[in-house]
Amino acid sequence: METYHVQPNDSNHGYNGPLHVSYGDSDYKLGDDYVEAAVRKGIDSTTDVNDFHTVNKAGRWPKWINPETSKRSDAAHGFIHPVCDQQDNLHLMTETKVIRILFEGTRAVGVETTFQMTIHARRLVVLSAGALSTPQILQRSGIGDAAKLASLNINVVSNLPGVGQNYQDHQLLTKAAYRVDAPPDDTISTVFLSSSETLAALSRTDRTLARNYVDAGIKLRPTEDEVLQMGPAFQNLWNKFFIDKPDKPVMYIGLFSS
């Protein structure tokens, strides 16, 4: 899936995919400062803070950026556009939302979209709408907890109580803000302060919009003493979900260059 430009021969990454992972042409000065400050406080640094094992180490945060073009590397341009350009058997409908799946008995035969339009499948229906929208569509289609669907007068196709359960959102806490002496290119201020016309021009000519400006971070696990200090409620969750998983972080603390 990816072409990893940060370092060669890393077994956690791929090197011949259509999506590029790199630092682009940014030197990430504020990200480097963040990592250096963490090291001064006794937190080790790492090249890949996003591997499946590293916790309590600070690292720069690469982006989905093609370093040759400084443009954001996204799934649409990586997978869909090449097919659209080379084949005539793919029809892409934009600004069209799927409301529910259509069934004949328990067999999916198509979808209903906005504007009361229905699309019928000749072979199969593949639903891929992300972690939030996929269970919503399934539940509206009659796949989910039968009791909940019946209470909403939705015809039950399949009683699967797990659909839509255990969804966890990001719990975000913004705590500390620091004013730094940094050039505009190191922050997202240009994006925040620009008009829509300027942003449209930037999207065509500039690397500014290729970044999300979360340029460094640390995945944290508390020490044993810190777990005790946070009280019995946290201790219960710690014992249930974290204590036996040393590579599972409790939180992420990062730098947002605004």
| Polymer length in residues for the chain | 258
Q: What is the pLDDT of residue 178?
A: 81
Based on the domain organization, do 149 and 182 belong to the same domain?
no
User: Does 223 fall in a domain?
Assistant: yes
Based on the domain organization, do 66 and 180 belong to the same domain?
yes
Based on the domain organization, do 21 and 134 belong to the same domain?
no
- What's the rounded Cα separation, in Å, for the pair 96 and 144? 24
Structure confidence at residue 206 as a pLDDT band (50, 70, 90) = low
Q: What is the pLDDT of residue 96?
A: 92
pLDDT tens for each residue of 37-50: 999 999 999 999 98
Sign of the CA dihedral running 225, 227, 229, 231: negative
- What's the rounded Cα separation, in Å, for the pair 87 and 162? 38
**Cα angle, residue 46 at apex, residues 43 and 48 outer, rounded to 5°:** 140
Nearest to 212 by CA among 74, 72, 66, 75: 72
Least confident of 51-65, 169-183, 209-223, 234-248: 169-183
pLDDT tens for each residue of 92-110: 888 899 999 999 999 999 9
Q: What is the pLDDT of residue 204?
A: 72
Based on the domain organization, do 136 and 22 belong to the same domain?
no
User: With 90 as the cut, is the pLDDT of residue 55 above it?
Assistant: yes
pLDDT tens for each residue of 23-35: 877 667 888 899 9
- What's the rounded Cα separation, in Å, for the pair 114 and 162? 26
Element (DSSP H or E) covering residue 113: strand 107-113
Nearest to 67 by CA among 4, 1, 11: 4
Q: What is the pLDDT of residue 44?
A: 95
User: pLDDT exceeding 90 applies to what percent of the chain?
Assistant: 53
Based on the domain organization, do 191 and 64 belong to the same domain?
yes
Residue bearing the bigger pLDDT, 192 or 99: 99
Cβ atoms < 10 Å from Cβ of 41: 7
Residue bearing the bigger pLDDT, 146 or 177: 146
CA distances from 254 to 31, 120, 167, 174, 213 (A): 9, 46, 23, 10, 10
Structure confidence at residue 142 as a pLDDT band (50, 70, 90) = very high
Final residue of a structural domain among 133, 159, 185: 159
Query: What's the mean pLDDT when you consider all of the chain?
Result: 89
Please say whether the beta carbons of 254 and 214 come within 8 A.
Answer: yes
User: With 80 as the cut, is the pLDDT of residue 220 above it?
Assistant: yes
Based on the domain organization, do 211 and 248 belong to the same domain?
yes
Based on the domain organization, do 184 and 64 belong to the same domain?
yes
User: Does 205 fall in a domain?
Assistant: yes
Least confident of 26-35, 175-184, 192-201, 222-231: 175-184
Q: Find the mean pLDDT for residues 226-235.
A: 95
User: With 80 as the cut, is the pLDDT of residue 209 above it?
Assistant: no
Q: What is the pLDDT of residue 205?
A: 67
Which ranges of 105-182 does DSSP label H, i.e. alpha helix?
Answer: 130-140, 146-151
Based on the domain organization, do 57 and 96 belong to the same domain?
no
Based on the domain organization, do 183 and 251 belong to the same domain?
yes
Cβ atoms < 10 Å from Cβ of 151: 9
Based on the domain organization, do 66 and 187 belong to the same domain?
yes
Element (DSSP H or E) covering residue 190: helix 189-193
Based on the domain organization, do 27 and 99 belong to the same domain?
no
Q: Find the mean pLDDT for residues 156-171.
A: 87
3-state DSSP of 220-249: ECCCHHHHHHCHHHHHHHHHHHHCCCCCCC
pLDDT tens for each residue of 105-126: 999 999 999 888 999 999 999 9
User: Does 80 fall in a domain?
Assistant: no
Q: What is the pLDDT of residue 50?
A: 85
Phi, psi (5° rounding) for residue 135?
A: -65, -30
Structure confidence at residue 173 as a pLDDT band (50, 70, 90) = confident
User: Domain range spanning residue 42?
Assistant: 2-70+173-256
